[in-house]
Amino acid sequence: MIRQPAVAGQFYPGSEQALRRELQQLIPHVEQKRSVIGVISPHAGYVYSGKAAGQLLAGIEIPRTVIILGPNHRGRGVLAALSPEDGWQTPLGYVPIEKRLAGLIRQQLPAVQEDSAAHAQEHSLEVQVPFLQYLRPDVAIVPLCLAFGDYGGCELLGNGLASAIRAFGEPVLILASSDMTHYESAEAAKQKDSLALERVMALDPQGLVEVCRANRITMCGVIPSAVMLVAAKELGATQAELVAYTTSGEVTGDSREVVAYAAVEVW
């Protein structure tokens, strides 16, 4: 089975030619690339968040295998859902699922299940794939859609992913897909998001979940980001860097009600 794109022509161009043209504009040329363990990459329409995502992913070495962790916006399917398909289709072509790594994840984490319903209409994972294809044409992915909300689950999943990656024995990038504050003023969003990003920079996944709850920070991918931080720390990460921060207001010109986007490297 092949998962067909759900948001091509909406969040990003639906034809190969137009998509390549847009990615070429969004992804800068970077000579020296950093080897990282994890990233947080935004997932809005490319017109809003594509420049931040392009700047982030252009600056890192993308290995052949990428685990993509995304929030479940629609609430369909199981709480931690692997894509059961053989691959995902985008306008740029076919991307295979790395089945060996997916199997190792299921061995480590019996609660993770294969479930196509969670992925069928979810955009947060899909919008990352064309960037990865463009920069690494032979990329293989392990898409994991998350609907749980407790930090204990983050710790369990993050440690299990780290164990699976060690057993896999090849370089793996863990990409957490997340936007930041939703539908507040640009000033309020920046104030709130600074609290969340402070915890990210400190490699404090539990603090990230707690500060988002305490301050009602509507970071939709807080759970994927916390899982990535747990796994990255277990795999030896000691540093993080904020590569970009922007809002939809910089595109629309209206700063009264924005969605904010951050791009972060962890190594």
Decide if 77 contacts 145 (C-beta within 8 A). Answer: yes
**77-83 average pLDDT score:** 97
**7-14 average pLDDT score:** 98
Question: What proportion of the chain, given as a percentage, has pLDDT over 70?
Answer: 100
Question: Which pLDDT score, from 0 to 100, does residue 59 have?
Answer: 98
Cα–Cα–Cα angle for 183, 184, 187, rounded to 5 degrees: 140
Q: Which domain holds residue 70?
A: 2-266
Backbone angles phi, psi at 103, to 5 degrees: -65, -40
**156-182 average pLDDT score:** 98
**179-187 average pLDDT score:** 98
Task: Say how far apart CA 141 and CA 84 lie, in whole Å.
Answer: 12
Q: What is the CATH number of the domain that holds 262?
A: 3.40.830.10
At 86-118, the pLDDT tens digits run: 999 999 999 999 999 999 999 999 999 999 999
Question: Which pLDDT score, from 0 to 100, does residue 23 have?
Answer: 98
Cross-strand pairs, 50: none
The sign one gets for the Cα dihedral 232, 234, 235, 238 is positive
In a 3-state reduction of DSSP, which class is residue 262? strand
At 145-156, the pLDDT tens digits run: 999 999 999 999
At 196-239, the pLDDT tens digits run: 999 999 999 999 999 999 999 999 999 999 999 999 999 999 99
Backbone angles phi, psi at 4, to 5 degrees: -85, 150
Overall number of domains in the chain: 1
In a 3-state reduction of DSSP, which class is residue 199? helix
Model-wide pTM > 0.85 = yes
Task: Say how far apart CA 267 and CA 146 lie, in whole Å.
Answer: 23
Look over the chain and give the mean of its residue pLDDT values, rounded to a whole number.
Answer: 98
Distance of CA 9 to the CA centre of its chain: 20
User: Hey, what are 59's tokens?
Assistant: 């600056």
User: Hey, what are 72's tokens?
Assistant: 């479940």
